[in-house]
Structure 1
Amino acid sequence: MQNESTDLLSPGSHDVVVDGLNQRYHVHGSGPVCLAVPGGPGVTWTSLRVPAAEEFLTMVYVEPLGTGGSQRLPAHPNGYTRQRYTRSLVGLLDRLSLPRVFLLGHSHGGFVAQHFALHHPDRLSGLVLYGSAPVTGPEHVAESAARVAEFARRNEARPDLPRVLAGLQASGTVTGDEEITAALRDLLPAFFARYWQREEEFRDLRETMTCTYISSVDEDLAPDIIDDRDALPALTVPTLVVVGRYDVPCGPRWARELHTLIPRSRLVVLEDSGHLGHLEEPEVFSRALLDFVRSTSA
């Protein structure tokens, strides 16, 4: 008879109570366990699914608190700090009886993963920072604006471009689930290197992707500004940094900086991808992940 922790890692969707709150996650694949934390915050977990990685990893796709089937905080939409997300992930590992795992964080999930690794390195076999950055705030906003301008220049002839730019503008001002979902769908082509050349392939994602509105302030309404640059040189966890060459929100500048700051990290640039390289170049992405897992395990 299987024990509870084994049952909780069986394929499919699961709900457990962590810190008095419902936590939903989804298990696919087999092999060493890798927790995958999506971005946004608030973007549906399915946006991060990597079927090719499930051939060699047990992928545990987390629905972060406040998103999808996971419970909302009493202060919703506020209070979703990296500290709070990290606490729920530690609790989830404890419920699953997993002493150590790989942790993959995409976009905002990468910010969470950095915080987790800096405070709980003993719980990680390896860290994957994917489409992430060491800092938020004005410096990050300015770099993103420059990347948006570059994206607009490359696609100035596309009739859909005004809709994308309007979605990018709206994403920083709307405050409801329906509104942020609409903005996400509008701006989604900016997350790809060549969306319109592959529109048939990615149209369904654009039409179905959902997002929960989560603010960027804590329970006391103070901004949750991030700057890990002073702390990252002390990181001891084996780390893989992955970025798309055409990533708009977290471009190569930040990946290079993470790689420079984190001792013995390795950097992989997906040359024909934007922010969603696991969809644009799935074989290259999964091969980089497999190589990292194998070298770390060895």
Structure 2
Amino acid sequence: MQNKKTAGLLSPGAHEVAVDSLNQRYHVYGSGPVCLAMPGGPGVIWESLRAPALEEFLTMVYVEPLGTGGSQRLPSHPDGYTRERYRRSLMGLLDRLSLPRVFLLGHSHGGFVAQYVALHHPDRLRGLVLYESAPVTGPEHMAEAATRVEEFIHRNEGRPELPAALDALQSVGAVTDDEKITAALRGLLPMYFARYWDREDELRGFREAVTCTYISSRDGNGESDIIDDRATLPKLTVPTLVVVGRHDVICGPRWAQELHTLIPRSQLVVLENSGHLGHVEEPEAFAGAVRAFTESTSV
């Protein structure tokens, strides 16, 4: 139960609090049990994860991760945005909100952060939703993504828009500023959907609105920050739902199945007509899976 001093911090709308001497911005929508939502990227705008269908039964607290949007940047920006740094920020936010236990939903890179938080603070979570996540980054993850991209190319062979999307994907590795990473993300975004070009009139607005901050995959010392949670995930005690789109090219079904196998008593839901953005492509199916999970999870 919140006290009067912090109750306003969960009122609808945008909020900003100081956490660990850094400004942390977040947005509140909906009603019901509280669910913190961590977007992907790292660096993708928080609105990309907004899911109104979840707001019908959850109080969604959409976090703007440090370094993005209205949240403060680290002195080492664009480096230093490790999971440990994000963990401290999220735990500090929970403390400021006087929330003892919440649901935590992480999308894509946000899933890597969410599982890290769950491993270190199981007592603070009612449940965990790993949405388009994976247990590992680095060469193995990239090789699987390359295979999935080839499948995407095969499914869309002959489409005149395909070469531009592939060019945008190839450009990502050379991008080091916000404007160019946003352009690259918008260019490759059709690959994040199961059938973007068949639904372009419906999905164009999402594509045109998405923005991204350039954040590196290096720690504060400039070293590569590779993730591999496969040894620790079997120790995870938080009730967990794993959600994946059948056609996701970035964190596809292979990784969802591996997460499901590694995490004791986890649940797995595959969205058959989605890519990386099932909350946009299949909002009712996505929300239905999350609702069933949250309602089945004991307080």
Give the TM-score category using the shorter length. over 0.9
Query: Residue 186 in 1 paired to residue 179 in 2?
Result: no
Q: List, as ranges, runs of 4+ consecutive aligned residues in structure 1 with deviation greater than 3 Å.
A: none
* Structure 2 letter corresponding to 1:91: G
Query: Residue 4 in 1 paired to residue 5 in 2?
Result: yes
Q: After superposition, what is the alpha-carbon deviation per residue over 1:125-163, rounded to whole angstroms, capped at 9, x for unaligned?
A: 000000000000100000000001110111111111111
Paired position in structure 1 for 2:226: 225
Query: Residue 268 in 1 paired to residue 269 in 2?
Result: yes
* Structure 1 letter corresponding to 2:133: S
Paired position in structure 1 for 2:239: 238
- C-alpha distance in 2 between matches for 1:181 and 1:152: 22
* Structure 1 letter corresponding to 2:175: V
- C-alpha distance in 2 between matches for 1:166 and 1:174: 13
SS at match of 1:85: helix
* Structure 2 letter corresponding to 1:106: H
Cα drift, residue 98 of structure 1: 0.3
SS at match of 1:233: helix
- C-alpha distance in 1 between matches for 2:270 and 2:5: 40
Paired position in structure 2 for 1:281: 282
* Structure 1 letter corresponding to 2:206: L
Paired position in structure 2 for 1:57: 58
Query: Residue 43 in 1 paired to residue 7 in 2?
Result: no
- C-alpha distance in 2 between matches for 1:39 and 1:274: 14
- C-alpha distance in 2 between matches for 1:45 and 1:158: 31
* RMSD between aligned residues: 0.8
Paired position in structure 2 for 1:159: 160
- C-alpha distance in 2 between matches for 1:208 and 1:9: 26
* Structure 2 letter corresponding to 1:169: Q
Paired position in structure 2 for 1:296: 297
Cα drift, residue 20 of structure 1: 0.7
Cα drift, residue 10 of structure 1: 0.2
Paired position in structure 1 for 2:103: 102
* Structure 1 letter corresponding to 2:191: A
Could you state the TM-score of these two structures normalised by the residue count of structure 2? 0.98
- C-alpha distance in 1 between matches for 2:109 and 2:25: 18
Cα drift, residue 4 of structure 1: 2.5
Q: How is 1:60-209 mapped onto 2 (pairs within 5 angstroms)?
A: 60-209=61-210
SS at match of 1:193: coil
Cα drift, residue 297 of structure 1: 2.8
- C-alpha distance in 2 between matches for 1:97 and 1:151: 45
* Structure 1 letter corresponding to 2:148: R
Q: After superposition, what is the alpha-carbon deviation per residue over 1:233-276, rounded to whole angstroms, capped at 9, x for unaligned?
A: 01000000000000010000000000000000000000000000
Could you state the TM-score of these two structures normalised by the residue count of structure 1? 0.99
Identity %: 74
Cα drift, residue 66 of structure 1: 0.2
SS at match of 1:8: helix
- C-alpha distance in 1 between matches for 2:55 and 2:210: 21
- C-alpha distance in 2 between matches for 1:297 and 1:173: 46
Q: How is 1:10-49 mapped onto 2 (pairs within 5 angstroms)?
A: 10-49=11-50
- C-alpha distance in 2 between matches for 1:223 and 1:151: 28
Cα drift, residue 167 of structure 1: 1.1
Cα drift, residue 279 of structure 1: 0.5
- C-alpha distance in 2 between matches for 1:13 and 1:156: 43
* Structure 2 letter corresponding to 1:173: A
Cα drift, residue 173 of structure 1: 1.9
| Ranges in structure 2 where 5+ consecutive residues have no aligned partner | none
- C-alpha distance in 1 between matches for 2:209 and 2:51: 17
* Structure 1 letter corresponding to 2:229: D
* Structure 2 letter corresponding to 1:32: P
SS at match of 2:242: strand
Which region of structure 1 is more displaced relative to structure 2, 280-289 or 203-212? Answer: 203-212
Cα drift, residue 172 of structure 1: 2.0
Q: After superposition, what is the alpha-carbon deviation per residue over 1:68-111, rounded to whole angstroms, capped at 9, x for unaligned?
A: 00000000000000000011000000000001100000000000
- C-alpha distance in 2 between matches for 1:11 and 1:48: 17
- C-alpha distance in 2 between matches for 1:9 and 1:94: 13
